Structure 1
Amino acid sequence: MKIGIIVGSQQKESQSAKVGEFLNSKLKEMSVETWTLDLGKTPLPIWDSNQTNENQTWSEFWGPIDSNLKSSEGFVVITPEYGGMASPAIKNFFLHAGLPQLGHKPGLLVSVSSGRGGAFPIHEMRASSYKNTKICYIPEQLIFRDVEHLINGGEPVSAEDSFIRERSVFALRILIAYSNSLSEIRESGVVYDPRFKNGMS
């Protein structure tokens, strides 16, 4: 099994990347193959409806990302909270990646906040990013609040640090179970009909 980790911060060095590395390490402890797309280190251009794979420069850039997304059976989607919103980078990602890459695959939403917030980006992502991509967000989610004081290596330094570490393992196990189950649904063929490739609104 392969799980893709999408880090939605626009900064080259970020707390979201720290969270991604932590979750990546936990998945590897569970013998899961992983792949990470850090949008701070590998920024995507602003989506343009005229972008096609006939553009060689774009094709060479997007091709490896496209391949890794398609071969992933589930996703961890991490977004920092910017002004109570999901990051522009993660929203832009969901315009580039669609049904062929994400469709009918489970996603674990993860929000990162430097303060006590973090809930609004989760609500935003659940409300808007699934319709045409048809990613299947699982009911579990993670919010890393006061993230600078969490998962900094070594033993937990607080009750909250212990809690989020344990909750993360719990959530990742659920993601893996959904990944196993949804692969059977995709393989059945019932989810594919060219007449209904977009979600209904």
Structure 2
Amino acid sequence: MVKIVGINGSLRLGSYSAKALELATQKVETYGANVEILDLRQMNLPFCNGEDQYPGYPDVEKLRQTVKEADGLILVTPEYHGSVSGVIKNALDLMGFDELSGKVTGLISVLGGQTNSNALNELRLIMRWVHAWVIPEQIALGQAWKAFDEQGKLIDEKLSERLDKFAQSLVENTKKLK
């Protein structure tokens, strides 16, 4: 069984990014993967300063070890000012090739406005730089404030189908490269 780690790049309570990650997790699990969520809201992570060690911050080691032991990743970010959130960028900066190289990665961005690919392109660039394998399927969830129903499900059936294909691709490609 493949192990996927999901990381949500939003700290906001009631985050649409967290809802998107939850839905992606459910879909990925239906394809037989084991998923662990690293909730950055519950972790005490310092700002990355380029050091190898961060004494006094055991969550840095937890982040690094959990990702290192994973076969694949789901990265979800809100789009802020046309790019990734500082939260997810900082978490990725606290890791390096040892943790991220070779990881099959699926990307999801969540926007308050119209759908675009800015944050997804930035994440793709970051992950390529650390030698991860980003699947071609990606999700940009625009106008997030009206994308979910009261049960937290996606209202747009086509978007839900794309999320299913995203999950299937992530699991299948992770199995192939494992």
Show structure 2 runs of 5+ residues with no match.
none
Match of 1:97 in 2: 95
Out of 111, 114, 124, the residue aligned to residue 113 of structure 1 is 111
> Within 5 Å, which residues of 2 pair with 1:134-173?
134-152=131-149, 153=151, 157=155, 161-173=156-168
Tell me the residue number matched to 2:34: 33
Change (3 A) 1:156 1:51: closer
TM-score normalised by length of structure 2: 0.89
TM-score (norm 1): 0.79
Counterpart residue number, 1:79: 77
- What's the RMSD between the two structures over aligned residues? 1.9
Residue number in structure 2 paired with 1:190 = none
Q: Given that residues 73 and 106 in structure 2 are in contact (C-alpha distance below 8 angstroms), is that contact kept between their aligned partners in structure 1?
A: yes
CA distance in 1: counterparts of 2:153 and 2:81, whole angstroms: 31
How far apart are residue 66 of structure 1 and its match? Answer: 2.2
User: CA 1:101/1:154 → structure 2, altered by over 3 Å: closer, same or farther?
Assistant: closer
State the alpha-carbon separation in 1 of the partners of residues 19 and 152 from structure 2: 14
Q: How big is each residue's C-alpha offset from its partner over 1:24-58, in whole Å with a ceiling of 9 and x where there is no partner?
A: 111222232111122234352110223516x2x22
> In the aligned structure 2, how far is the partner of 1:6 from the partner of 1:155?
19
Counterpart-to-counterpart distance in 1, 2:106 and 2:172: 12
Cα displacement (A) at 1:155: 6.7
State whether residues 28 and 171 of structure 2, in contact with CA within 8 Å, keep that contact through their aligned partners in structure 1.
no
Paired AA for residue 135 in structure 1:
A
Query: Quick one: distance in 2 between partners of 1:48 and 1:143?
Result: 30
Q: Percent identity?
A: 26
Q: Secondary structure at the match of 1:108?
A: strand
Q: Give the ranges of 4+ consecutive aligned residues of structure 1 lying more than 6 Å apart after TM superposition.
A: none
Q: Distance in 2 between matches of 1:112 and 1:43?
A: 24
In the alignment, what sits opposite 2:63? 65
Deviations 1:104-128 (A, max 9, x none): 1111111101121341111122233
Greater RCO (CA < 8 Å, at least 6 residues apart): 2
> Could you tell me how far 1:172 is from its partner in structure 2?
0.9
Match for residue 5 of structure 2? 4
Using the alignment, how far apart are the partners of 1:40 and 1:12 within structure 2?
Answer: 9
Q: How many residues align?
A: 176
Bigger-Rg structure (1/2): 1
Unaligned runs of 5+ in 1: 184-201
Q: Is the 8 A contact 1:118 1:145 kept in 2?
A: yes
Tell me if the contact between 1:91 and 1:129 (Cα under 8 Å) persists in the aligned partners: no
Q: Cα–Cα, structure 1 residues 111 and 155, in superposed 2: closer, same or farther, change >3 Å?
A: closer
